[in-house]
């Protein structure tokens, strides 16, 4: 393959120059990558946008994979879409997939460019993802970044060399990333009434992902969204305006009253589901207080952001966990998303069976695990009854637990006072042992 490309400069779009450049590349690539060339030939780009316009003219870098066609390259021509994209959730999404990996062994140095300008140590981004930091270089690339590259690569959704927009308007395009145990939007849409009518009648009867989330071809995918990607609530004012946006879409088919009633039910399911996760977190924090998690946060490798402490928030890892935490991870990351996103996407099986039922079953399992750990360690159950109370030493410890729980918001001031009084009362009445 000829490595010397006859190029007359960097970014001269249109006209003879690029066509020449394209011809130069095509000499080899007709044979090397025939289907890619055929796709380009059939595309709107063939008329005036040649290979080097997007790929650049440094063939060595292209071969080494360090000259990816970034979104800003596309943005030179597609300004409106680019601007909508980078200021939306898709444009910010990638950051959550990253943290600096320079200190980790066996890192592929080519990864640096995802966060740093070439030759610079200044980060483009300071957002961290603990789970990404725990990956191998390869899993980070083909597990995490294959989706999180959406920030900087238009080809994440648009196919590399195709320019037809028709395929881009179909929900399938979103499936590769918006699927799986952590956020099965594709699966829940596909079997919702919207998805079913889309498949059997068409988008005039059942809207696609794009119809609701990218109306009129907008690339602002934050449109109408009221939660962060970690499923925390956005500020109320943002939620209000976003909800109004989405209602504008719903009322193209449904009445306002119906749509608002639906959203109010969905919001209630969101809050009820979140409360189940919070209950499970409290069980686990109490186990941690009692040193019953095995391995404990102290015993295991330090969390890359939180160190030797219990981490149950969006930075929670999925490795080196005790069983109770492993179950909690499922609740928080998988079941909650299925219940809540299932409700907003009108999928009863996801809302109820994959979501609500799994949340409750797994909460029960965590509480049962806690009861067993308490029993094995000679403690009474933390979440069940108090048939047999501990003696003096146990009461002291229980007072400390109550204090910690109150301080982290796990019980109200009234509950704390009442429970504390109860323990102290018992301490007075019972002999030391």
Q: Which among 72-80, 118-126, 184-192, 240-248 is the span making contact with a second copy, rule CB under 8 A?
A: 184-192
Asked whether the beta carbons of 116 and 123 are under 8 A apart, the reply is: yes
The 301-330 contact track toward a second copy, x by CB under 8 A, reads -----------------xxxxxx-xx--xx
Q: Decide whether 318 or 392 has the Cβ nearer to a second copy.
A: 318
Q: Which among 4-12, 188-196, 212-220, 410-418 is the span making contact with a second copy, rule CB under 8 A?
A: 188-196
The single residue among 129, 150, 173, 281 that binds a second copy, judged by CB under 8 A, is: 173
Question: Is residue 356 part of the contact set for a second copy (CB under 8 A)?
Answer: yes
Q: From the CA atom positions of the chain, what is the Rg in Å?
A: 27
Provide, rounded to whole angstroms, the least separation between the CB of residue 79 and a second copy.
Answer: 26
The single residue among 40, 82, 223, 354 that binds a second copy, judged by CB under 8 A, is: 354
Taking CA atoms, 46 is separated from 18, 22, 129, 160, 370, in Å, by 10, 9, 40, 13, 64
List the one residue out of 207, 91, 193 whose CA is nearest residue 152. 91
Asked whether the beta carbons of 430 and 420 are under 8 A apart, the reply is: no
User: Measured between alpha carbons, how far is 292 from 324 in angstroms, rounded to an integer?
Assistant: 10
Asked whether the beta carbons of 383 and 324 are under 8 A apart, the reply is: no
The single residue among 3, 41, 72, 193 that binds a second copy, judged by CB under 8 A, is: 193
- Sign of the Cα torsion 355, 358, 359, 360 reads positive
The single residue among 77, 247, 311, 349 that binds a second copy, judged by CB under 8 A, is: 349
Question: Is residue 41 part of the contact set for a second copy (CB under 8 A)?
Answer: no
Q: Count of alpha carbons within 13 Å of 363, Cβ hemisphere only?
A: 21
Asked whether the beta carbons of 92 and 73 are under 8 A apart, the reply is: no
Provide, rounded to whole angstroms, the least separation between the CB of residue 261 and a second copy.
Answer: 6
List the one residue out of 219, 234, 246, 242 whose CA is nearest residue 74. 219
DSSP secondary structure letters along 308-350: SS---STT--SSS--HHHHHHHIIIIIIHHHHHHHHHTT-HII
List the one residue out of 238, 240, 256 whose CA is nearest residue 248. 256
Which two tokens mark 345?
A: 């996407």
Question: Is residue 212 part of the contact set for a second copy (CB under 8 A)?
Answer: no
Three-class DSSP category at 126: coil
Question: Is residue 351 part of the contact set for a second copy (CB under 8 A)?
Answer: yes
User: Measured between alpha carbons, how far is 161 from 37 in angstroms, rounded to an integer?
Assistant: 8
User: Measured between alpha carbons, how far is 265 from 377 in angstroms, rounded to an integer?
Assistant: 43
Q: Which of residues 99-138 bind a second copy (CB under 8 A)?
A: 135-138
Q: Decide whether 123 or 180 has the Cβ nearer to a second copy.
A: 180
Question: Is residue 368 part of the contact set for a second copy (CB under 8 A)?
Answer: yes
Q: Decide whether 123 or 306 has the Cβ nearer to a second copy.
A: 306
Q: Which among 85-93, 231-239, 268-276, 405-413 is the span making contact with a second copy, rule CB under 8 A?
A: 268-276
Provide, rounded to whole angstroms, the least separation between the CB of residue 63 and a second copy.
Answer: 4
The single residue among 4, 103, 376, 413 that binds a second copy, judged by CB under 8 A, is: 376
The 277-296 contact track toward a second copy, x by CB under 8 A, reads -----------------xx-
Q: Which of residues 385-414 bind a second copy (CB under 8 A)?
A: 385
Question: Is residue 172 part of the contact set for a second copy (CB under 8 A)?
Answer: yes
Provide, rounded to whole angstroms, the least separation between the CB of residue 10 and a second copy.
Answer: 21
Which two tokens mark 355?
A: 């979501």
Question: Is residue 36 part of the contact set for a second copy (CB under 8 A)?
Answer: yes
Question: Is residue 238 part of the contact set for a second copy (CB under 8 A)?
Answer: no
Three-class DSSP category at 431: coil
The single residue among 204, 389, 415, 430 that binds a second copy, judged by CB under 8 A, is: 204
The single residue among 200, 388, 429, 433 that binds a second copy, judged by CB under 8 A, is: 200
Provide, rounded to whole angstroms, the least separation between the CB of residue 255 and a second copy.
Answer: 6
Q: Decide whether 36 or 427 has the Cβ nearer to a second copy.
A: 36
């Amino acid at each position: 393959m000829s490595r010397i490309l006859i190029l007359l400069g960097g970014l001269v779009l249109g006209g003879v120059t690029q066509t020449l450049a394209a011809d130069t590349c095509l000499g080899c690539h007709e044979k090397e990558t025939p289907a890619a060339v055929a796709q380009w030939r059939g595309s709107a780009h063939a008329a005036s946008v040649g290979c080097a316009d997007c790929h650049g003219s440094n063939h060595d870098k292209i071969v080494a994979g360090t000259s990816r066609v970034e979104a800003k390259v596309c943005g030179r021509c597609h300004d409106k879409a680019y601007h909508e994209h980078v200021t939306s959730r898709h444009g910010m999404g990638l950051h959550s997939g990253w943290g600096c990996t320079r200190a980790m062994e066996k890192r592929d140095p080519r990864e640096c460019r995802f966060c740093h300008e070439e030759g610079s140590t200044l980060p483009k981004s300071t957002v961290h993802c603990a789970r990404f930091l725990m990956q191998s270089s390869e899993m980070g690339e083909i597990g995490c970044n294959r989706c999180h590259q959406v920030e900087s690569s238009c080809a994440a959704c648009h196919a590399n060399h195709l320019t037809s927009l028709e395929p881009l308007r179909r929900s399938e395009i979103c499936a590769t990333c918006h699927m799986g145990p952590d956020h099965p939007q594709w699966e829940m849409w596909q079997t919702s009434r919207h998805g079913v009518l889309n498949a059997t009648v068409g988008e005039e009867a059942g809207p696609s992902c794009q119809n609701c989330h990218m109306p009129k071809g907008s690339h602002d995918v934050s449109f109408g969204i009221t939660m962060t990607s970690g499923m925390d609530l956005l500020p109320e004012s943002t939620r209000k305006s976003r909800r109004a946006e989405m209602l504008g879409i719903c009322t193209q088919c449904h009445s306002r009253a119906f749509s608002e009633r639906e959203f109010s039910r969905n919001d209630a399911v969101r809050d009820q589901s979140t409360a189940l996760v919070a209950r499970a977190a409290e069980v686990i924090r109490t186990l941690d207080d009692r040193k019953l998690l095995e391995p404990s946060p102290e015993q295991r490798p330090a969390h890359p952001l939180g160190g030797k402490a219990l981490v149950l928030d969006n930075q929670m890892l999925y490795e080196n966990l005790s069983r109770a935490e492993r179950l909690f991870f499922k609740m928080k990351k998988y079941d909650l998303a299925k219940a809540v996103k299932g409700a907003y996407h009108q999928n009863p099986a996801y809302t109820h069976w994959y979501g609500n039922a799994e949340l409750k079953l797994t909460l029960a399992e965590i509480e049962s695990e806690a009861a067993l750990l308490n029993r094995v360690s000679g403690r009474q159950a933390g979440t069940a009854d108090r048939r047999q109370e501990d003696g003096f030493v146990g009461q002291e410890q229980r007072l400390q637990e109550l204090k910690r729980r109150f301080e982290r918001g796990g019980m109200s001031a009234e509950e704390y006072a009442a429970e504390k009084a109860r323990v102290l009362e018992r301490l007075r009445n019972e002999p030391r042992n």
